[in-house]
Amino acid sequence: MLKIENLHAELEDDSEVKILKGLSLTINPGEVHAIMGPNGSGKSTLSYVLSGRDGYTVTEGSATLEGVDLLDMDPEERAAAGLFLAFQYPVEIPGVGNMTFLRTAVNAQRKARGEDELSATEFLKLIRAKAKDLQIDADMLKRPVNVGFSGGEKKRNEILQMAMLEPKMCILDETDSGLDVDAMKLVADGVNALRDAGRSFLVITHYQRLLDHIVPDVVHILSEGRIIKTGGPELALEVERNGYTDLMAEAQA
């Protein structure tokens, strides 16, 4: 599904700041991978580089989604190709209703893929069902995008977007940050409901606790822009017990 090979990226404004230094990763269809790593290891940069945010320059390596080069595409093309990033800090957009936003996004992607746009009625039916599962009420759908939403509401709204857009490859950037236990469970249930043989996930997190709810197939440890260790769910538990220091020392040895 997603294949990243020897990816190098630096800050666009300061080529001295190299963030990704040869990251390689392959996620097969239906798999859930987790990336853990200390602050500054390049976790969020990876999500931004993959989704096409300005501010980074890829100097080497490649990233493909189902064999198609991602790095050459505009962010909207990547989205239409099936990539989705659940933001660590979902953006507030005053003046744009949540429903309008979602309908515009869903139909823009359908249009880009040559599919018919959803009618207002079809869209409404779909969103009502999906919102209900995530305990998102009609009021949250009417309000401007993320404006005045609590941390938990913002993250649930991200998952609602994911459910509506039905991407193939979902990147969750610290989706657990700012969530209490109940909210985390709700978000995780939303993600688990979307797990499917044709859909893959890359879960970026600081903490193991999210992985109790979204159980990964593979866990990677990212440090200084490279993956230094890959293992099963037990690797996340090891980090939780011992921290990153031992792993980093081991990698340098």
Nearer to other proteins, 140 or 221 (CB): 140
What is the closest distance, in whole angstroms, from the C-beta atom of residue 75 to other proteins in the complex? 4
What is the closest distance, in whole angstroms, from the C-beta atom of residue 94 to other proteins in the complex? 6
What is the closest distance, in whole angstroms, from the C-beta atom of residue 92 to other proteins in the complex? 8
Nearest alpha-carbon partner for 86 in 17, 171, 183: 171
Nearer to other proteins, 89 or 230 (CB): 89
Nearer to other proteins, 98 or 208 (CB): 98
Site residues, other proteins (CB under 8 A) = 51-54, 74-76, 78-80, 85, 87, 90-91, 93-96, 100-101, 104-106, 108-109, 112, 144, 161, 165
Nearer to other proteins, 94 or 243 (CB): 94
Nearer to other proteins, 100 or 177 (CB): 100
Is residue 196 a contact partner of residue 169, using CB atoms and an 8 Å limit? no
Q: Is the dihedral of CA 9, 11, 15, 16 positive or negative?
A: negative
Q: If DSSP codes are grouped into helix, strand and coil, which group holds residue 89?
A: coil
What is the closest distance, in whole angstroms, from the C-beta atom of residue 232 to other proteins in the complex? 31
Residue 232 exposed, middle or buried by CB count within 10 Å (0-12, 13-18, 19+): exposed
Cα(186)–Cα(120) distance, integer angstroms:
28
Residue 3 exposed, middle or buried by CB count within 10 Å (0-12, 13-18, 19+): middle
Is residue 85 a contact partner of residue 166, using CB atoms and an 8 Å limit? no
What is the closest distance, in whole angstroms, from the C-beta atom of residue 202 to other proteins in the complex? 15
Nearest alpha-carbon partner for 106 in 43, 183, 167, 60: 167
